């Protein structure tokens, strides 16, 4: 079982380098790729247009081996990168200098994108004192339906399998710890919890509805009359919507100062979104996590 961000990097290095494709680049993305390549995590395949792009790459990546593909003026680097992944000519894709909205829209496109599960979802992964904890969905799905919430949990369970977590404990977060028909998220959380009781999420244990206070503290939960193996020992914090997930993730990074990396789940090949609130150091960890996702279930589980 992997319990630190350092262990993610170590396990990925042991698994050997993966072919990482980057459609269009800037110095920021090249720095991350160079560090990942120097650690033996990836062999970079950089797609761009023209001599100016090639000169920038050679100047920044002079100490590592890489491949440059010049798509010319008539070929979209992002389209070319997606095709490489679909054709198994690359293992991972990293967003480079392409606009975030444009990049995500292409990945999620029903016809030409990379989603192979029922939906894609985003997982923020935080380093706590003695373990790793996930927050999901923290970027992709705005106001998911109950069925979409089920899919988001399934995606998170795939990542927990990669990390070797044998029986993930999930807190279905809401504003309060009781079912209230006037708060729809509490109804969804209660249904997901009952589905868990009946074995519909494999070995996972879902508690909900539950507020953050009870999720974090077994003592607080007991005070409110809630007894559950999840309280005080959460692996996955499942949020009701993107506003809660994105805000919570940023709060934990900027105010809580927790080290964070992330993963996009539900795609046919791992994709690193390169979001701005992930630290420089942990951008490399994102690539390492994507490398482990290529391998599937962690062998140490």
CATH of the domain at 57: 3.40.50.10950
Domain co-membership, 153 together with 247: yes
Least confident of 13-17, 52-56, 289-293: 52-56
234-282 tens-digit pLDDT: 999 999 999 999 999 999 999 999 999 999 999 999 999 988 888 888 9
Q: Is the pLDDT of residue 50 over 90?
A: no
For the chain, what is the domain count?
2
Domain co-membership, 73 together with 186: no
- 270: DSSP letter: -
Domain co-membership, 161 together with 287: no
Q: What is the CATH number of the domain that holds 183?
A: 3.40.718.10
Instruction: Give the residue-averaged pLDDT of 42-52.
Output: 83
Domain co-membership, 252 together with 273: no
Instruction: Give the residue-averaged pLDDT of 53-68.
Output: 75
The residues, ordered by sequence, that sit 6+ positions from 44 with a Cβ below 8 Å of its Cβ are: 20, 21, 22, 33, 36, 37, 61, 64, 66, 67
Longest CA–CA span in the chain (Å) reads: 67
Q: Is the pLDDT of residue 298 over 50?
A: no
Domain co-membership, 161 together with 100: no
Domain co-membership, 164 together with 183: yes
Which pair of structure tokens corresponds to residue 245?
């997930």
Domain co-membership, 38 together with 101: yes
User: What number of CA atoms fall less than 13 Å from residue 209's CA on the CB side?
Assistant: 16
Name the residue range of residue 155's domain: 121-259
Percent of the residues in the chain that have a pLDDT greater than 90, as a whole number: 76
The residues, ordered by sequence, that sit 6+ positions from 178 with a Cβ below 8 Å of its Cβ are: 186, 209
122-177 tens-digit pLDDT: 999 999 999 999 999 999 999 999 999 999 999 999 999 999 999 999 999 999 99
What pLDDT sits at residue 89? 95
Domain co-membership, 6 together with 55: yes
What pLDDT sits at residue 135? 97
pLDDT band at 300 (very low <50, low <70, confident <90, very high): very low
pLDDT band at 299 (very low <50, low <70, confident <90, very high): very low
pTM, two decimal places: 0.93
Whether the Cβ atoms of residue 48 and residue 120 lie closer than 8 Å to each other: no
Domain co-membership, 164 together with 125: yes
Q: What is the CA radius of gyration of the chain?
A: 20
118 CB neighbour count, 10 Å cutoff: 14
Q: Is the pLDDT of residue 222 over 50?
A: yes
Taking each helix axis as running N to C, give the angle between helix 50-60 and helix 27-38, from 0 to 180 degrees, rounded to the nearest 10. Answer: 50
- Collapsing DSSP states into helix, strand and coil, what is residue 238? strand
Domain co-membership, 159 together with 83: no
Domain co-membership, 98 together with 146: no
Domain co-membership, 107 together with 28: yes
CA distance 39 to 151: 34
């Amino acid at each position: 079982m992997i319990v630190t961000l350092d262990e993610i990097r170590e396990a990925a290095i042991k698994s050997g380098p993966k072919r990482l494709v980057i459609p269009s680049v800037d110095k920021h993305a090249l720095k991350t790729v160079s560090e990942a390549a120097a650690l033996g995590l990836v062999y970079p395949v950089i797609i761009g247009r023209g001599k100016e792009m090639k000169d920038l790459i050679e100047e920044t990546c002079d100490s590592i081996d890489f491949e440059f593909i010049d798509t010319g003026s008539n070929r979209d680097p992002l389209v070319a990168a997606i095709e490489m992944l679909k054709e198994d000519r690359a293992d991972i894709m990293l967003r480079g200098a392409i606009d975030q909205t444009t990049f995500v829209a292409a990945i999620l496109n029903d016809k030409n994108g990379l989603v192979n599960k029922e939906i894609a979802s985003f997982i923020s992964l935080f380093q706590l004192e003695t373990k790793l904890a996930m927050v999901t969905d923290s970027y992709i799905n705005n106001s998911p339906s109950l069925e979409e919430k089920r899919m988001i949990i399934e995606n998170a369970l795939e990542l927990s399998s990669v990390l070797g977590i044998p029986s993930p404990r999930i807190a279905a977060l809401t504003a309060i710890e009781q079912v209230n028909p006037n708060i729809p998220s509490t109804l969804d959380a209660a249904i997901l919890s009952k589905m868990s009781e009946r074995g519909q999420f494999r070995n996972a244990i879902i508690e909900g509805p539950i507020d953050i206070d009870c999720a974090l503290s077994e003592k607080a939960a007991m005070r409110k009359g809630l007894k559950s193996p999840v309280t005080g020992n959460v692996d996955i914090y499942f949020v009701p919507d993107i506003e809660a997930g994105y805000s919570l993730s940023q709060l934990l990074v900027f105010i809580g100062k927790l080290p964070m990396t992330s993963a996009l789940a539900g795609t046919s090949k791992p994709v690193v979104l390169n979001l701005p609130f992930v630290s420089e150091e942990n951008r490399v960890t994102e690539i390492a996590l994507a490398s482990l996702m290529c391998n599937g279930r962690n062998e140490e589980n």
